[in-house]
């Protein structure tokens, strides 16, 4: 698990609450159910309305993934592929069948299985690249769901504030109620802006980043399978794969 998102979100709310208390505010006063229900409920409902039922179900899984997923590291794939390349040059592709049982990367195993079965290299690449494309598309929709929620939330907050101010105007004859009503009205805007910038948009960015890292790992696997099929020198395979890694991971793969 990579806790960056969870740490960031918790820290953001801690700072907001601490700032509120330093100004003499009471954090409990921010926890009014009506504006929170309006902002969170309406935002998610409207976002859901812009997609499909399948998108909504996938978004629930994506939210959990954003908080708990381990950030993929492509560098640890390089030694595995190089080891397979060395054995393939020494014993042939068929000898790799036993080695695949020890590999915990399903995508690499799938590619190597296709290669061992004698599938044409161009067809192997097409199949694997199609899977990468499908994954990118699915991840894009998940990130878009939360990005859309981040766009809707501030507007929904303003709607809540307008509704609250209308209620204030209805009670001008009772001045003792006005303070509470005005505060409740502006809480909708507060939660709209805060939920967008401290929850939905960070979740969207996290999903995009995870997708980039996972796609990069898959691309490294594709090039590794192609190099093994071509019978490339293991040292050349290593250098080729390392060149595909983000700059910060080169030392880990060397």
For residue 182, tell me if it sits in a domain: no
Instruction: Report how far apart the first and last C-alpha atoms of the chain are (Å, whole number).
Output: 24
| 0.75 surpassed by pTM | yes
For residue 99, tell me if it sits in a domain: no
Give the residue numbers spanning the domain of 12: 1-29
For residue 174, tell me if it sits in a domain: no
Number of domains in the chain: 1
For residue 179, tell me if it sits in a domain: no
For residue 86, tell me if it sits in a domain: no
For residue 171, tell me if it sits in a domain: no
For residue 25, tell me if it sits in a domain: yes
For residue 21, tell me if it sits in a domain: yes
Query: pLDDT tens per residue, the chain (254 residues)?
Result: 788 888 899 999 899 888 888 888 788 888 888 889 999 999 999 999 998 899 899 999 999 999 988 888 888 888 999 999 998 888 888 888 888 888 888 999 999 999 998 899 999 999 999 999 999 999 999 999 999 999 999 999 999 999 988 888 887 777 777 777 888 889 999 999 999 999 999 999 999 999 999 999 999 999 999 999 988 888 888 888 888 887 666 656 55
């Amino acid at each position: 698990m990579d806790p960056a998102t969870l740490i960031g979100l918790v820290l953001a709310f801690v700072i907001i609450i601490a700032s509120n208390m330093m100004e003499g505010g009471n954090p409990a006063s921010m926890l009014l159910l009506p504006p929170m229900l309006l902002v969170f409920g309406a935002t998610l409902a409207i976002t859901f309305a812009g997609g499909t039922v399948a998108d909504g179900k996938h978004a629930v899984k994506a939210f959990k993934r954003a908080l708990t997923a381990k950030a993929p590291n492509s560098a640890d794939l390089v030694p595995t592929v190089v080891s397979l390349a060395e054995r393939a040059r020494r014993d042939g592709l068929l000898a790799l069948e036993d080695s695949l049982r020890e590999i915990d990367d399903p995508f690499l195993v799938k590619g190597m299985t296709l290669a061992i079965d004698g599938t044409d290299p161009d067809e192997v690449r097409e199949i694997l690249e199609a899977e990468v494309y499908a994954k990118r598309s699915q991840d894009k929709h998940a990130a878009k769901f939360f990005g859309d929620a981040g766009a809707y939330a501030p507007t929904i907050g303003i709607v809540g504030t307008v509704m609250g101010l209308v209620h204030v105007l209805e009670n001008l004859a009772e001045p003792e109620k006005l303070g509470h009503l005005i505060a409740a009205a502006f809480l909708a805007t507060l939660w709209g802006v805060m939920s967008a910038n401290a929850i939905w948009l960070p979740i969207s960015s996290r999903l995009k980043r995870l997708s980039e890292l996972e796609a990069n790992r898959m691309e490294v696997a594709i090039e590794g399978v192609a190099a093994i099929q071509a019978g490339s020198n293991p040292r050349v395979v290593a250098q080729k794969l390392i060149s595909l890694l983000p700059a910060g991971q080169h030392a880990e793969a060397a």
